[in-house]
Amino acid sequence: MSNELVLQERREDGVAVLTFNDPDRLNAMSEAMGQAIQDAVAALRDDSDVRAVVLTGAGRAFSAGGDLDMLVRMNEAGRADAGGPTRANNRDFMGRFYRMYLSVRDLPVPTIAAINGAAVGAGCCVSLGCDFRIVAKEAKVGLNFNRLGIHPGMAATWTLPRLVGPAHAAELLYTGKLVDGDEAARIGLANRAVPRDTVLEDALATASLIAEGAPQAIRGSKRSLSGSDKRTLDEQLDTEAHEQSLNYETSDLAEGLSAVREKRTPKFTGN
């Protein structure tokens, strides 16, 4: 197993790629991998040159879920001390564990999950933390927590109904069934399903298209979208007006307007 549990690639177009890198274990989510993804996100978060991030998995899986050895240890400890201090320890650990992976939500730029293979349980949940998902038709995707005997975690009960609606979310969570890429796209769990060997290519092409846009406007769009469910219509209008007022101070807006007049592709610098 590589010591680099999360690989980082910076591309010339401003797209960064983060890859779960434990293919022999189907990128099982361990505490060490969680720390690695949190560190990688921290390195990207304040980098103004990054315009989009793609998250994917090495080998034949995106991530098959939580590290079973870790879950066994926690189950054994919990059974040996039912109702005792271990319960609080397990609760606090899981809260920290899930927040490490969901640090992807803290990235100020658009994020795309390139689901190249199985995305199960927590593996599916971390993909739900991205702005959108492109999935392999052949992939198996689902939240099998209840079939293991454990309550869903990593914000599954929060993110899933917002994406697929309460009825689809209830069915997926209660049954723990896995669906293929086509079904995931049909119900809104993914934006689209493509052949396995083109998933990363499609995600990178989409990320590159995002990276061609005006960085400040796109980051502002993400801020507006991420809080829109908590605002009224009037509050959202004020949010948009504020973001636009920031853009009126940029050279990129002048470049975009000039490009329209001159019928050419704009070249945005982020200024």
Does residue 254 lie within any of the structural domains? yes
Same domain? For 127 and 237 the reply is no
Q: What are phi and psi of 254, to 5 degrees?
A: -60, -40
Same domain? For 90 and 46 the reply is yes
Same domain? For 224 and 117 the reply is no
Same domain? For 132 and 48 the reply is yes
User: b/e for 181-216, b at 16 or more Cβ within 10 A?
Assistant: bebbbebebbbbbbebeebbebbbebbbebbebbbb
Containing structural domain, residue 245:
215-262
Same domain? For 112 and 144 the reply is yes
Residues 174, 180, 181, CA angle at the centre, nearest 5°? 120
Does residue 268 lie within any of the structural domains? no
Q: Do residues 118 and 62 touch, judged by C-beta distance below 8 A? A: yes
How many domains in the chain? Answer: 2
Does residue 270 lie within any of the structural domains? no
Does residue 32 lie within any of the structural domains? yes
Same domain? For 14 and 112 the reply is yes
Per 3-state DSSP, what percentage of the chain is helix, strand, and coil (rounded to 5)?
55, 15, 30
Output the CA torsion sign for 228, 233, 238, 243: positive
Does residue 269 lie within any of the structural domains? no
Q: What's the confidence (pLDDT) of residue 3?
A: 56
Same domain? For 220 and 196 the reply is no
* pTM, full prediction: 0.94
Does residue 267 lie within any of the structural domains? no
How would you write the pLDDT of the chain (271 residues) with one tens digit per residue? 335 999 999 999 999 999 999 999 999 999 999 999 999 999 999 999 999 999 999 999 999 999 999 999 999 999 999 889 999 999 999 999 999 999 999 999 999 999 999 999 999 999 999 999 999 999 999 999 999 999 999 999 999 999 999 999 999 999 999 999 999 999 999 999 999 999 999 999 999 999 999 999 999 999 999 989 899 999 999 999 999 999 999 999 999 999 999 999 999 998 9
Q: What's the confidence (pLDDT) of residue 83?
A: 87
Q: For residue 249, give Cα distances in angstroms to 91, 134, 219, 240.
A: 47, 35, 15, 15
Q: What's the confidence (pLDDT) of residue 266?
A: 94
Does residue 1 lie within any of the structural domains? no
Same domain? For 118 and 154 the reply is yes
The domain that holds 143 is classified in CATH as 3.90.226.10
Q: What's the confidence (pLDDT) of residue 227?
A: 87
Same domain? For 146 and 28 the reply is yes
